[in-house]
Amino acid sequence: MADIIQLLPDHVANQIAAGEVVQRPASVVKELLENAIDADATIIKLIIKDAGKTLVQVIDNGKGMSATDARLSFERHATSKIRSADDLFHLHTKGFRGEALASIAAIAHVELKTKQEHDDVGTVIIIEGSSIVSQEVVVTPKGTSLSVKNLFFNIPARRNFLKSNAVELRHVIDEFHRVALAHPSISFVLYNNGSEVFNLPISNYRQRIVNIFGTKTNEKLVPVEEETEVLKISGFVGKPEFAKKTRGEQYFFVNDRFIKSPYLNHAISSAFEGLLKNGNHPSYFLNLNVDPQTIDINIHPTKTEIKFDDEHTLYALLRSAVKHSLGQFNIAPVLDFERDASLDTPYNFNNKETNTPVIEVDRSFNPFKETYTSGKQTTAFKKQTVNNWDSLYVGLESKGTKTEHDFSEVHFESEETTLSVFSDDNAIEQVQTTYQLHNKYIVSTIKSGMLVIDQHRAHQRVLYEDFLKNLTIKAGVSQQLLFPLELHFSTQEIQIINQLKDDLEHTGFVFLNVTKETVEIVGVPVTVPDSEVSIILEQLISDVENEVPDSHFSTTDLLAKSMAKSLAIKRGQSLLKDEQEHLVNKLFACKEPNVSPTNRTTFVTMSVDELDKKFM
């Protein structure tokens, strides 16, 4: 039998590696930014076009490379970060596999310009699909500029898997945030389609968080500091009252490297136990410094998953540190048996000067005198004689000549009414036609048997069709707010609101002003209470970022779904009889009453025959 095992060509092996390393433009952004950081750059610029599909360019002022190193950097498993297998457990750099540039060059057009500080001229290399087109001398400033153009140009199937520009841009910005947050000592600038999105100067960690997520974030942060032999924790957690429905602002950094860890995330959630509303998630920006020998980074191509030597100890320390910070800054309730809360200075009187009360005594006062005179007022005390007791009953007999035991005007506060099991025909008309079961379901009778409706899904369907109709015909009814509503969002969230602004106005929202960090609203749809506006917009932004339900749905449909989900009555909410009947009638007036906007069943029926079988 002939031999069938053979070595893969380099360009095929590189494309297979690219499938692991490069899933989307954001993967390229991550690898290039980390290379710039490893080159000791202090200023890094990221330029993208069409969410990175057309261009991803990273410019830094780092060390640069020689002509030989520039050529070798695109070879598989060529790296300057490690020399032996033991170095994998002493890592202080970002990249070390030597796969990133080789994988990127296999699926894109790459142009590299680089120069070291002591060299007079630099090197430019152009690569297309792993093939080096040219290598020449070029005049370029110190550092490296690497451009990745036309991603997946030679793998159309992979390009078809990419999402819309809005979604891919969100992933790029997420990666930019992760790298920028981990390195506040480096200046970062992001340009998208020629416009500046972020300009982050060198700063401390708190200021870097504020520069990314907006000035309003500053008042939400609670510092966390803890240092032990095993672990050093530093960073911030968000106050419980600012928790969101989404998990957007959750960042773990281990030795300045962003990681994802559901186990450690659970430690944070347990520290916030009892402080958050159901369904809300805390925000946190935590740096964990551990001995590199106690972690293994080399378990995933993207290096976002880390294996810890002793996870249980880290869990306990992290939970304890966060809980301590929440208690120390009076965020969480604490038990202190030596402290009397009633002796605390009220907030309004804090740091105010104390005024000694003045006591005035009138020494001439005599309560047994009929009259006495003080400096400011005259008070008279008159003796009441016993002869006036009969005046208490004057006028009681002038209101009529009723008998002593006349109860003609006695009224009962309430009368308890019960229906007879065997009621007559007239009583049947007064029986309630709908019932609410466990504040979740509405039970109604039909000719063939019984109908059970999920109130949350049914209301979603009703609201969805109403919003969709208003968006389509652009006839949303708005109610004016007495005072403008000012909401604070991050730069990325403001961009999404600007994209949806026209559609939101068609549903009934009226925007007075939209700045880089704030949104001012003066009108909302009639069905929307002003207290729910921030929740609706947060949910809407989350849905757009994650492109729920999918990219082939229109923005109008997405907006209607998101608003219906936010405003629908929840399970557990009690409804009056009229509200139950109104919801049932509105549901069956819909075009598709059988399913919710997310294709979930809204009601089930049970016939009399099925009920009869239950009693057989």
Give the pLDDT confidence score for residue 6 in this predicted structure.
81
Give the pLDDT confidence score for residue 85 in this predicted structure.
60
Across the chain, mean pLDDT equals: 80
- Each domain of the chain, given as residue ranges in start order, spans 10-200, 207-328, 441-604
Kindly report the CATH number that applies to the domain delimited by 207-328: 3.30.230.10
Model confidence at 393: pLDDT above 80: no
Give the pLDDT confidence score for residue 379 in this predicted structure.
46
User: What is the CB-side half-sphere exposure of residue 518 using CA atoms within 13 A?
Assistant: 10
* Same fold across 207-328 and 441-604: no
Position 97 confidence tier, pLDDT thresholds 50, 70, 90: low
Give the pLDDT confidence score for residue 292 in this predicted structure.
80
Q: What is the C-alpha R_g of the chain? A: 36
Q: Which residue has the higher pLDDT, 353 or 187?
A: 187
Assign domain 441-604 to its CATH architecture: 2-Layer Sandwich (3.30)
Long-range contacts, 572-576 (Cβ 8 Å, 24+): 572/439, 572/440, 573/439, 573/455, 574/436, 574/439, 575/436, 575/439, 575/442, 575/455
Contact 13, 157 (CB under 8 A): no
Give the pLDDT confidence score for residue 200 in this predicted structure.
93
Alpha helices in 272-419 (DSSP H): 311-328
Helix (H, G, I), strand (E, B) or coil at 348: helix
Instruction: Tell me the pLDDT tens digit for each residue of 534-582.
Output: 888 887 887 777 665 444 456 677 778 878 888 888 888 888 888 888 8
Give the pLDDT confidence score for residue 422 in this predicted structure.
47
Residues 62-80 have a mean pLDDT of 81
Residues 27-56 have a mean pLDDT of 91
Per DSSP, 309 falls in state: S
Token readout for 316 is: 């306990």
Residues 153-178 have a mean pLDDT of 86
Three-state secondary structure readout of 83-121: CCHHHHHCCCCCCCCCCHHHHHHHCCEEEEEEECCCCCC
Give the pLDDT confidence score for residue 410 in this predicted structure.
58
Model confidence at 423: pLDDT above 50: no
Position 597 confidence tier, pLDDT thresholds 50, 70, 90: confident
Any residues with CB less than 8 A from the CB of 48 and at least 6 apart, and which? 25, 29, 55, 56, 57, 169, 172, 190, 191, 192, 193
Model confidence at 165: pLDDT above 70: yes
d(CA 544, CA 489): 15
Residues 72-79 have a mean pLDDT of 74
Give the pLDDT confidence score for residue 559 in this predicted structure.
77
Q: Which residue has the higher pLDDT, 429 or 221?
A: 221
Q: Which residue has the higher pLDDT, 467 or 297?
A: 467
What residue type is assigned to position 578 of the chain?
Answer: D
Residues 498-508 have a mean pLDDT of 82
What residue type is assigned to position 562 of the chain?
Answer: S
Q: Which residue has the higher pLDDT, 9 or 321?
A: 321
Position 95 confidence tier, pLDDT thresholds 50, 70, 90: low
Instruction: Tell me the pLDDT tens digit for each residue of 443-468.
Output: 988 888 888 999 999 999 998 888 88
Percent of the residues in the chain that have a pLDDT greater than 90, as a whole number: 22
d(CA 371, CA 564): 75
Instruction: Tell me the pLDDT tens digit for each residue of 301-358.
Output: 666 777 778 888 888 999 999 998 888 876 665 555 565 656 666 666 666 777 777 8
Q: Which residue has the higher pLDDT, 427 or 266?
A: 266
Model confidence at 260: pLDDT above 50: yes
Q: Which residue has the higher pLDDT, 140 or 157?
A: 140
CA distances 583 to 439, 460, 576, Å, are 14, 11, 11
Model confidence at 401: pLDDT above 70: no
Model confidence at 156: pLDDT above 70: yes
Give the pLDDT confidence score for residue 191 in this predicted structure.
93
Domain spanning 10-200: which CATH class is it, in words?
alpha beta
Burial of 573 (0-12, 13-18, 19+ CB in 10 A): middle
Give the pLDDT confidence score for residue 374 in this predicted structure.
47
Give the pLDDT confidence score for residue 347 in this predicted structure.
60
Token readout for 606 is: 């049970």
Give the pLDDT confidence score for residue 177 in this predicted structure.
93
